[in-house]
Amino acid sequence: MKATRFISSRIFSLSKENLSSIVMKIAIVSIALGISIMLISIAVVVGFKNQIKNKVVGFVSPIQIQVLNQNESIEETPFIYDSLLKSRLELPFVKSIYPTANKAGLIKTENDIHGVILKGVDKDYDWRYIENNLISGKVPQYTENERSNNVVISKVIAEKMLLDEGDEVRLWFVGEDMKTRGRKFVVEGIYETGLTECDERFIYCDLSQIRRLNGWDDNLVGHLEIQLVDDADVDEANSVIYYKIPTNLVSYTARELYPQIFDWLDLQDMNVVIIIVLMLFVAGITIISMLLIIVLERTSTIGILKSMGANNAFVRNIFMQRSCRILLIGMMAGNIFGIGLCLIQKYTDIIKLSAESYYLSSVPIELNLSNIILLNVGTFVLWVLMMLIPTMVINNINPSKSIRFE
């Protein structure tokens, strides 16, 4: 056993009933709490950002193409989706393209009226996102030759209008001639995404219904939804698509379509930074205080070691070795506690949230190994550097004075 390790084991003892042992126990608890709170904060925020981002992108697609002169009205200006435009969008990062169109209307029952947006999709539309969020019924199967009256509505609309799977519902629309027209639809399924902005408004229907209501030809669409391959960068892909499409069209990312949601998510990063800084500062002050108290309590021991020929570096090494061990014990306990709480929440959803306020029904958790390693390594290095501050006191301890006044 090295001399520094042997001496430090005698100086740093958690079993003895003295001031330094109490301070060390407090330091371990402080370190454990600091690490666990930082881990939980990062896991929650990463989970929030990824889950809500996936919800938005799943609903509106990563990129949309529409007419450049689009105004603030929900009514869309149509454009031709033909083989020429398809060929321009045959890019390595484009996974699929779905023609869609929106139409504003009113859903009316005997007792209520509610404004909605009818979203028309065709037979090739990818229903996986809606299927994953279905709470009742099923998604309709549209065909090219037959116009379908089956629709999928949200839980919010179903509850407001007292509708259920299989019910008939009448929607009313206002044409360019300002005449109202009614269409009867059948509720095929009910979904719930948790995105209030979408659930309160959108009803899925057959694209041919939108074309018929607007008097469009079969090759006209309101907008195109572009799905990308998994490893594609959305902003870079949007930049390429923007210069590929005709000048009368423009492409938007999901962030540009719903900036308020993404801006809210970006604010969560600042919350995590503040929490991490506070935890690093509080636990760091505790570590400095612990080491300073131990140094002052062992002043006579330091004086004896110096009188026997030990230099300042040797004595500092004694205190640093054991302090690092205490630091590692606290960090290990904090990791076990923090990751354990995260796993419990991830698999049980004990802590619930208001979906109207947070877009999610429970606190999301996403544990990332690289984030955990980076947090632990960075925190350990920072706290070790902070521990160098109290060890500087050792340089000023005079052996003759410290032994004389023991």
- At 13 the pLDDT is 55
d(CA 60, CA 53): 11
Listed by start position, the domains of the chain span 3-55+262-404, 69-246
pLDDT in tens, 298-312: 767 667 666 666 676
Contact call for residues 285 and 389 (beta carbons, < 8 A): no
Low-confidence ranges of the chain (pLDDT < 70): 1-20, 70-73, 175-178, 299, 301-302, 304-310, 312, 394-406
- At 9 the pLDDT is 57
- Give strand pairing partners of 106: 115, 172
d(CA 349, CA 362): 6
- At 16 the pLDDT is 56
- At 1 the pLDDT is 47
- At 100 the pLDDT is 93
Alpha carbon of residue 115 to chain centroid: 31
Q: What pTM, to 2 d.p., does this model score? A: 0.78
> Dihedrals φ, ψ of 387, to 5°?
-70, -15
- At 202 the pLDDT is 92
